[in-house]
Amino acid sequence: MATFAAFFSSFAPDRIERLLPESYAKDVWFNDTLKTVVGRDALAHYLRESAEAVDACTVRIIDSTRNAEGEYLVRWTMMIRFKRFKKGQDTHSIGLSHLRFDRDGRVVYHQDYWNAAEGIFRHIPVLGWMIEAVLRRV
């Protein structure tokens, strides 16, 4: 759990290269509600592209719960400052990650649950306007 927390405490391209091998298993299954990737190499590529698209991204773990099978549910808050959308503005989201670890303490299963519309999509110029229009009608 500590390596997961350290990995996402500051989301930057250089940290991904350095910390991914000790944080995620080679055959990891990962879904962050935006994309599903299988394997550490594919995850490294996806996370590197994601990190390069932001000026800053930090995840603060609020708490975690471990069940009898050794799986974790981790509640977190995330701050993202995009390079292309809403420049200079911090975006805040809350979410939950469902994690399974291997015997070496690396993540083998990572499923996120969070509101991507609030955290990302509302900040994309045309898409954000459309989401706002739909929400006004609800």
Q: Mean pLDDT in the chain?
A: 86
Q: What is the pTM of this model?
A: 0.82
What pLDDT is stored for residue 129 in this prediction?
57
Residues above pLDDT 90, as percent of the chain: 49
* 73-100: average pLDDT: 88
Domains and CATH numbers, the chain: 2-137 (3.10.450.50)
Rounded to whole angstroms, the Cα distance separating 111 from 30 reads: 6
The backbone region for 132, taken as left when phi is positive above 0, alpha when psi lies in -120 to 50, beta otherwise, is alpha
- The answer on pLDDT for 80 being more than 90 is no
What pLDDT is stored for residue 60 in this prediction?
93
CA dihedral for 12, 42, 34, 5, sign (positive or negative): negative
What pLDDT is stored for residue 25 in this prediction?
97
What pLDDT is stored for residue 103 in this prediction?
93
Q: Which of the four pLDDT bands, split at 50, 70 and 90, describes residue 125?
A: low
* 27-51: average pLDDT: 95
- The answer on pLDDT for 130 being more than 80 is no
Q: Could you report the per-residue pLDDT of 14-37, keeping only the tens digit for each? A: 889 899 999 999 999 999 988 999
